[in-house]
Amino acid sequence: MARKTNKPQNTPCEPCKGTGEVSRTVRVGRERRSAGQQTGICLNCLGFGEIPATD
């Protein structure tokens, strides 16, 4: 009987908490006041929401 090999477990990404998206505050004007938030992909996990485990 062949042995099964376990795949390495992926861990959830810390900055995006596993969603793949992060929010940034948008600032406008000379006084740099806050106008709202804009979402984009997480640069830590590139939008996958998981960090691959290293062997």
Closest Cα to residue 40, out of 27, 25, 50? 25
Which of 24 and 2 is assigned the larger pLDDT? 24
Q: What is the mean pLDDT of residues 23-39?
A: 93
pLDDT at residue 54 in the model:
64
pLDDT at residue 36 in the model:
94
**Under 8 Å between Cβ of 24 and 43:** no
Q: pTM of the predicted model, to two decimals?
A: 0.59
Q: What is the mean pLDDT of residues 20-41?
A: 93
Q: Is 4 left (phi over 0), alpha (psi -120 to 50) or beta?
A: beta
Tokens at residue 2, please? 């062949």
Mean pLDDT, the chain, integer: 85
